[in-house]
């Protein structure tokens, strides 16, 4: 089953967010056709018979400087704020603290630039966490190698 309206909903959410750095800082995050048609549309529009998204995991492999971090941050925020799941848990994993912070910092800046999202949550920089109090959902950074993770990220 396919429902393009679900994919369009994700696209509209993302395009209300703003870039936080580089030449596009402060401008809306407009999805290029390939990002929408090759990633968002099949990922969010393809449904199982029960009406839920068919895909739960997505691996995006594109070259450097193609906005993977920004897209990942935008999708994390979509799931935290627009997916309407109570108690949702969104995790971003990376191999070290610096890399893990990249996606969080991007997402936090996107929230800070969006009054509507900012009103719904609290950003806790020291814990690399964004808490949505309205749905009791959160976005959190974790280290992929838990055995070597510093205690402040666990």
Domain spans of the chain? 4-153
User: What's the CATH code, domain 4-153?
Assistant: 3.40.50.300
Give the pLDDT band (50/70/90) at residue 57.
confident
Write down the H helix ranges in the chain.
4-14, 33-35, 41-45, 68-81, 97-112, 115-120
The tens digit of pLDDT for each residue in 70-107 reads 999 999 999 999 988 899 999 988 888 788 889 999 99
Q: How far is CA 150 from each of CA 18, 59, 146, rounded to the nearest angstrom?
A: 31, 26, 8
Query: Could you give the CA distance from residue 95 to residue 45 in angstroms, rounded to a whole number?
Result: 31
Q: Specify the pTM.
A: 0.88
Give the pLDDT band (50/70/90) at residue 152.
low
pLDDT of residue 84: 83
Q: Tokens at residue 36, please?
A: 């929408």
CB atoms within 10 A of CB 52: 8
């Amino acid at each position: 089953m396919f429902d393009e309206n679900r994919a369009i909903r994700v696209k509209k959410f993302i395009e209300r967010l703003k870039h936080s750095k580089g030449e596009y800082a402060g401008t809306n995050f407009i999805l290029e056709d390939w990002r929408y048609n090759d990633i968002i549309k099949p990922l969010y529009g393809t449904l199982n018979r029960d009406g839920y998204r068919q895909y739960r995991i997505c691996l995006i492999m594109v070259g450097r400087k193609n906005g993977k971090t920004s897209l990942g941050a935008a999708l994390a925020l979509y799931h935290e704020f627009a997916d309407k799941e109570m108690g949702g848990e969104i995790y971003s994993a990376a191999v070290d603290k610096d890399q893990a912070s990249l996606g969080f910092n991007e997402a936090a800046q996107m929230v800070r630039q969006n009054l509507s999202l900012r009103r719904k949550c609290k950003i806790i920089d020291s814990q690399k966490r964004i808490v949505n109090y309205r749905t009791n959902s959160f976005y959190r950074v974790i280290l992929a190698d838990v055995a070597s993770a510093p205690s402040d990220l666990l």
